[in-house]
Structure 1
Amino acid sequence: MILANICNGWKDIALYTPSLWAAIDADKPISDLASLLDAWLRRAGSYALSISLPTPLSSEIAAVVARYAHQLQVLQMYHHDDDDDDTDFSTAVWPLPFLKKLTIIGIHEYSCSISENLEILRICSNLIECTLDDVFYGYHGFNLEDILLLPRLCVFNFGAYPDHSSDLILRYITLPGLQTLFISLHDIQFQDLLQFLRRSSPPLQQIIVGDAGFFDWTFEDLEECLPLLSTLTDFECLKPRGALPGDLLTVLATSPNLLLNLSTVTLRLLYIPTGPAAIRETFQRPLVQARPGEDITVQLRQLTADGMLIHLGPENRNYI
């Protein structure tokens, strides 16, 4: 649109270059979005499309998306707390056989429908990457019997801050190709997670766990879960709680044949700058300046000399 405002020459270039019209981001409801969306996407020709839309969708918008469903490769949907003219996306627009990347962004503490999200996943049979950011399903019971199989899904991400997203949906899906998992362990039970891993048997290489994770996990839980992650190379936990760090290292130390491919373990303490500045400064300085004991650093430096990558300290300084 900027090019079209420069001069007539640039306007012609913009109007007749289909690739410039292959993506549109309408993250907030606007008037007559259906007409705008149709006119925009029509100029994209046969190019693969990337669309960001507010939800719930009107029937007019859903009809437009349906016309271009065969070209849609990237879709991002923003949930808005608005029930006017609510349209079930999964029944209005399907199938989406070429969709590769799906992102659903919710409203924190605003309950979404797990059934609707499962139906959206069901129509995206060739999905490779899925993000559910700030999606919350509430605490009521679900009576869903069918397990959804997504054989090509490689990356499942529960958002930039996984502790804010519900991961209960893992109870109802099978992901045999999953390689990267950003998980919150917010409301899924340990046994449900075990069943998901056993059912999927995925070639997981990277797991990042939000700060809600492992709160109630025991040493025995780790011993039961870790053997199902034999392909894991990278493990990261945000704000690990309780005995997790010690238990995890103990399990790895006492089981030399466990997680043979593991190369990186990150236990990250997040500092969130809230409260009066003077109070933050008082408590932050000693935490940042705290260092491990010399006996510990000597042992850790020996491990680094043997090839292990270790970072201990704030992000901008490594004491090892």
Structure 2
Amino acid sequence: MDSLPRGPNYSELCKLWLERARTLPLSLVLNGSLKLEQSVQDLLAQYGPQLIALTLYVSCSGLESPQVIWEREPGSLYSLKTLSIEPTDEDAYYGDMREWLELLRDSPELSLCALRNVFYHQQGIGGGPLDSLTLTSLEILRLGGRHANRAMNLLHNRGSSSAVILRYLTLPALKALTVSELDIADEEFFSFLHRSSPTLELFEMTLPHHHPWRDPLVSRCLGLMPALTALHLFARPEDGATINPFLSFVEVLSTSPEVLPNLREIVFRTDGQITVHYRELLRMLKFRVRSCPTPLERFTLRFEDLFTWEYMLDMPTNEVKAALRQMVGDGLTICIGPDEKFLSL
């Protein structure tokens, strides 16, 4: 459905199709401005209780301030399972935090929520402090880029989404979390994890570019995710920097079998040139395979194809290569470099 005004015939056509659904569950995709035409608002209000999936492609073009999506009765989206909101324009959408929180509050059975390229006006249209919210059914939360290739969006869309909403959420059922712009303080992020105590299985994050995560921060973060099976980290090194932004994670994951004991997959990805530290990497892989309750099954390190002299000096020794090949022979899948043939393991 288009939310832009298109005359009475269009709304009558939408109404006809919705009536044909009778009482069946509905999945809707809504395109256009958040300043909804009244007839579309009326239809959404009428059929909101039947919605199980809703995708909103929104635009703030020509709007001076955020607009509410539509007037709803509290809890009116009690059947909604999947919600996706993303802008129709290339730029991020600046929405109203109060409106997004109320939309989530009206969807108590929500299991998947994707807020793509969304920033928030935190004061809200209604004024006053924002109330916190607990969603007991939400299992997947994606605060990332708009396209299917989330890895590339996490790398290249700096500021493509906002984690500010985590300040107000408690998500005890959360199993998968994607955060492409950790624009809240570390303590606020840890507070979210602590009060939610989720059994996270997948965690994807772009490492904050404003400061590196050192061992104490890494240990504290991973310590709040004991059920994790897949860890995907992305980094954007500063221009000219060749340090390994993942080194603190490598060191922490090499220390104790109690750190992420169920981890099966590790993915590190960067759009810059880094010093890999292959010996430390090998030590971590051996530890995760031989000393942890659940052996690591797959490791991926992707970086740009930058063949400079400094880059060539960071190639692994023959001894390290042989050890990596042995681990591959024992069943560990290893992908290192800009392509699958980089090390020919």
Q: TM-score, normalised by structure 2?
A: 0.73
More strand, by proportion = 2
Paired residue for 1:317? 341
Query: 1:145: Cα distance to partner?
Result: 5.0
Which of 38, 44, 47 is equivalent to 2:24?
Answer: 47
Query: 1:39: Cα distance to partner?
Result: 2.2
Is 1:132 matched up with 2:115?
Answer: yes
Which of 74, 82, 88 is equivalent to 2:68?
Answer: 88
Query: 1:42: Cα distance to partner?
Result: 1.6
Query: 1:303: Cα distance to partner?
Result: 3.0
SS in 2 for 1:257: coil
> Alignment length, in residue pairs?
283
Query: 1:84: Cα distance to partner?
Result: 9.1
Query: 1:252: Cα distance to partner?
Result: 1.0
More helix, by proportion = 1
Kept after mapping to 2: 8 A contact 1:176/1:202: yes
SS in 2 for 1:50: strand
What does residue range 1-320 of structure 1 map to in structure 2 within 5 Å? 25-26=1-2, 29=4, 31-32=6-7, 33-53=10-30, 54=32, 55-81=34-60, 82-83=62-63, 88-89=68-69, 91-92=71-72, 94=74, 95-106=76-87, 107=89, 108-137=91-120, 144-160=129-145, 161-162=153-154, 163=158, 164-210=160-206, 212=208, 215-239=211-235, 241=237, 243-270=244-271, 284=305, 286=307, 292-293=315-316, 294-317=318-341, 319=343, 320=345
Query: 1:223: Cα distance to partner?
Result: 1.4
- Summarize deviations over 1:137-160 as a string: whole Å, max 9, x none: 268899745320110101001133
Amino acid at match of 1:156: L
Distance 1:138 1:306, change over 3 A: farther
Kept after mapping to 1: 8 A contact 2:140/2:175: yes
Amino acid at match of 1:65: L
Structure 2, gaps ≥5 residues long:
146-152, 238-242, 273-303
Kept after mapping to 2: 8 A contact 1:211/1:239: yes
Query: 1:239: Cα distance to partner?
Result: 2.8
- Summarize deviations over 1:30-56 as a string: whole Å, max 9, x none: 513533322221222232211111323
SS in 1 for 2:21: coil
Q: Percent identity?
A: 29
Kept after mapping to 2: 8 A contact 1:88/1:116: yes
Q: TM-score, normalised by structure 1?
A: 0.78
Kept after mapping to 2: 8 A contact 1:58/1:86: no
Question: RMSD of aligned C-alpha atoms?
Answer: 3.0
Distance 1:61 1:213, change over 3 A: farther
Distance 1:284 1:263, change over 3 A: closer
Distance 1:284 1:265, change over 3 A: closer
Structure 1, gaps ≥5 residues long:
1-24, 272-282
- Summarize deviations over 1:57-112 as a string: whole Å, max 9, x none: 23321111111112111101122114499863364365101101000113524421
